[in-house]
Chain A
Amino acid sequence: MARYAMVLDTRRCVGCHSCTVACKVHNELPVDMIYNCVTTVGPTGVYPDLHMTHLPLLCMHCATSPCVDTCPTCASQQREDGVVFVDDKKCVGCQACIMACPYGARVMNHETGAVQKCDFCKDRVDAGLNPHCVNTCHQKARIFGDLDDETSEVHRLVHGEKAVRLLEELNTEPHAFYIY
């Protein structure tokens, strides 16, 4: 069985926010909902010795996801391939998952009364395509694939380059890796 993961190559990311917009547009999100923030750390240092990094943030599709554990209605689910998603029909908008997520990945849709989040564009993935954020990135800074497939690009990057995960110490086993 596949285990999907996303690799964010911060050496390449220039913080253009294209993935944020592509995600919003293709998911037809209300204007104030963002699944996919891109933050900028820095410039840090004292002029002119500076450093700057951009961090695309997204749902980490954690292996032991607190959001799935906490959901009382079984709306939040995780597939065998690791994709965490919300079954909108079952969501009652209690926002327990929003509180549970350390990464702030979930957003409340006040119009529909339910919670939404990145689902790795699972319908596209099932059809053999990449998520929209991956396609739209000019810098090819987002790489998506099957971590268990040793021939995949994500596997190569995670095992071959300097890769970290955010808030790793919280032990949710996030599946987004940051190359630096």
Chain B
Amino acid sequence: MSKLIDVEKEGVEIKKSACYFCHQNCGVLAYVKDGKVLQIEGDPEFPTNQGGLCCRGNVALQHLDHPTRINYPLKRVGKRGEGKWEQIPWDQAIREIGDRLLQIRTDHGAEAVATAGGTQRTDDWARRRFMNLFGSPNGFHNSHLCWIPTFMVETAIYGWCPFELDMGNSRCLVLWGQNPGAAGMPEMHHITEFQKKGMKVVVIDPRYSETAAKADLWLPLRPGSDLALALSWIHVIIYEGLYDVEFVNNCCEGFGELAEHVEPFSPEWAAPLTWLTPEQIRQGAYMYALNKPGNIQWGTSVDQIGKPAGSTMHARAILRAITGNLDVPGSDLLTGPSPDFITDEEMEANEWLPEEQKQKQIGADRFKLVTWPGYSRIAEETRKVWGKAPTAEWMCEAHPPSVFRSILTGKPYQVKALLVSATNPINSYGETKLVLDALKAVDFMVTCEYWMTPTAALSDYVLPIAGALERPTITSSYGCSDFLLASQRAIAPMYERRNDYNFWRDLGLATGQADKWPWETVEDAYFHRIAPLGYDVGTYDEFVERYRFHFPEREYAKYQRQGFATPSGKVELVSSVLKDLGYPSLPPYIGPTENEIDHPELAKDFPLVLTTGGGFMPYHHSEHFQIRDLRFLRHEPYMDINPTTAAELDIKDGDWVWIETKRGRIKQKANLTPGIHPRVVFTQRGWWYPERDIRDPDLAGALESNANILTSTADEDCDPYSGAWANRGLLCRVYKHDAELKEAH
């Protein structure tokens, strides 16, 4: 029954493509004949997945030609959300959109046009290029929730983000709020292999996750209390003499001040805040500090705790420095940007955005770290040492909630147009009600999508975008890695889909940017980027077929040669860059966005602690709920609750329950599990019900089980450094869904 494709006999071509359904971007072999993909499988020779392919990758063919894919440009007729569309040619759509944007620019300024993205799934440098040339500083993604603030804090402290883990030589890995066992399969595989060779694994996670179940030490902290844990670890490492004296003396600034700062932050201080015992806290610190070299793997959790986020990132970053786990074999490596190929930032045309436009970036007045003020300051330092800057489309963005508010309030000015690509803001941005109001109110909205999502349903134009097998892909960690992995498209885009690169380029051509887009196809642009590497290839496809990836020679301890890309040339435990931006130079203690100590009144009504945002198979954010084989495996949302808590609330396994915060409530089914603290609950993210009516107001159930109904993006609830909002550590309550639930989903 399993088809066996005989390559020779049937005239089948093998294309070296990529999955692209998540950041791991596993290599995929696509068997193509006559322009059709017959079968796909994991590429055994691809360094990350080595032939493996997860649930999502396996349904690529169902995704490719799904009956409900958007295949033609659509123009709204009738009211917004009414669901009435006219199919128009691509060129007409581009022309009309371009004209409208130009009109808006004339009437309100280029800054009145904003773009929204999700996680990295598209050629975002092309998006930034368009925006820079157009004159608008208001591009944004969900970057605040995903690595970007961490990147910038760590770059401020040690001159780049050491996201390249040299696990092969490592003796300890701390997974700080990351669960690769449920969502990052190649990474999990590598962890498993190195564990077999003796590497210790510490998992910091409120849930007994798939990865926690394989760990040597599981630290189930109170969601949002990572800062207390990090500060107490610094305390232990310093005051129990576990720090790397040589590295600290030779390479770090401000150790004395740091030591004084963390003096009160003992494990005994941290215990009631983290709900861990002092023994557990010490055990973790010892495991990391004494099993050297070691790694701290970033996880989205710290980016998603709201108010304490920036400070936590700083504290966590300090741990690498004081243990000397920086840029040495087996530790976290400061690879820096690639000097060899053209990085994303170099394709963004940032130099074309006028200064006065930069200053109009929404949110930059309050949140400096990942906007132009912080980005400029930090890029200044990185350019001195590395010669290049981090990717601006990610590291330098408008503050999304502030943009949504500007649409509704007109402050600081009203954003008139929203170009949405590769995101479903109704599902994925914080404080859903705010997002929904903004999307309904904005004058003009264009969505580039695979599917008719709730956001697309509210748009004026929906443009069909080509997916993974229909596009080439370069994987380079948001443009910040020194390596790249290259994949080619298996087939040309089907129907009238275009690559997202071409959307931005076509829009650029339609708005007077013609001379700035010399690369007609994505392959042309990619070839331009890899050409400086000097491989003997004439096209991008040739590079993929013959080489597939570029890994430069590894140089450890580069700081010995060039110092760190900071003002002092050393690791700034006391950060002068953060101080320049108006932030504390040492990480202060800040409690979670909502917590029982600082908000006792709130805790009376909302006695449980919520964590959400964690990934789980077989979905990815709000994707794949309409892929039948995946939906069959997990067709309803489940929230995790401890059995003792459930008993108190008279909740049985499988009951529908409400989870409510100050912002609103959602319903999910109860999964009783001892794998979570009795006072903590976890809700799954991303849920909507594509089989339901997509039109307003049902929006295919996007408001029913969507965790973002529960979150807040009010300024006072956000991280002062970056403006990141909290998905974790909020206060909530849970109760049974008494009303009879009609099986409408």
Residues in chain A within 8 A of chain B (CB atoms): 11-12, 14-18, 20-22, 24-28, 31-32, 42-48, 50-52, 54, 116, 119, 121, 123-124, 127, 129, 131-132, 135-140
Q: Given A16-B185, A27-B2, are A43 and B675 neighbors across the interface (CB < 8 Å)? A: yes
Complex interface: chain A residues within 8 A of B673 (CB): 43
The answer on a CB contact under 8 Å between B42 and A24 is: no
Residues of A within 8 A of B211 (CB): 14
- Report B197 CB to chain A, min CB distance, Å: 14
- Enumerate 22 A-B pairs (CB-CB under 8 Å) in ascending A order: A12-B192, A16-B210, A17-B617, A18-B53, A21-B59, A25-B629, A27-B1, A31-B632, A32-B632, A42-B213, A42-B675, A43-B208, A43-B213, A43-B674, A47-B208, A47-B676, A47-B677, A52-B210, A121-B2, A136-B53, A138-B186, A139-B189
Task: State whether B675 touches A50 (Cβ < 8 A).
Answer: yes
Q: B441 at interface (Cβ–Cβ under 8 A)?
A: no
Q: For B3, what are the chain A residues with a Cβ–Cβ distance below 8 Å?
A: 26
> Is B181 in contact with A16, judged by CB distance below 8 angstroms?
yes
* Residues 207-231 of B at the A interface (beta carbon under 8 Å): 208, 210-211, 213-214, 218, 220
Task: Give the docked Cα–Cα distance between A46 and B618 (Å).
Answer: 28
Q: How large is the interface on B (under 10, 10 to 19, 20 to 34, 35 or more residues)?
A: 35 or more
Is the pair B55, A48 in contact by a Cβ cutoff of 8 Å?
Answer: no
In addition to A14-B213, A26-B3, A48-B208, 12 A-B residue pairs with Cβ atoms within 8 Å of each other are A11-B214, A16-B54, A18-B53, A21-B55, A21-B59, A22-B53, A25-B61, A47-B677, A47-B678, A52-B675, A135-B42, A140-B52
Question: What CA separation (Å) do A54 and B51 show in the bound complex?
Answer: 22
User: In the bound complex, do residue A136 and residue B42 qualify as a contact, i.e. CB atoms below 8 Å apart?
Assistant: yes
Q: How far is the CB of A81 from chain B (nearest CB, A)?
A: 17
Number of A-B contacts (CB under 8 A): 130
Chain B residues near A12 (CB-CB < 8 A)? 192
Assembled-state Cα–Cα distance A135/B58 (Å): 11
Task: Report the minimum CB–CB distance from B318 to chain A (whole Å).
Answer: 27
Distance (Å) between the CB of A106 and the closest chain B CB? 14
CB distance from B68 to the nearest CB of A (A): 15
Q: Is the CB of A48 within 8 A of B218?
A: yes
CB distance from B493 to the nearest CB of A (A): 22
Return A90 CB to nearest CB of chain B, in Å.
Answer: 15
Collect the chain B residues with CB atoms within 8 Å of residue A129's CB: 4
Selected from B41, B51, B58, B674, the residue in CB contact (under 8 A) with A46 is B674
Q: Determine how close the nearest CB of chain A comes to the CB of B585; give it in whole angstroms.
A: 36
Q: Determine whether B182 belongs to the interface, using a CB cutoff of 8 Å to chain A.
A: yes
Contacts of B53 in A (CB 8 A): 18, 22, 135-136, 138
Inter-chain contacts of A44 with B (CB < 8 A)? 674
A119 to B632, CA, bound (A): 22
Within 670-711 of B, Cβ neighbours of A (below 8 Å) are at 673-678
Report how far A146 CA is from B737 CA in the complex, Å: 53
Residues of chain A lying within 8 A (CB to CB) of residue B59: 21, 25
Q: Is B49 an interface residue (CB 8 A)?
A: yes
Q: Is the CB of A14 within 8 A of B628?
A: no
B188 on interface, CB distance cutoff 8 Å: yes
Indicate if B642 sits at the interface (CB-CB under 8 A). Answer: yes
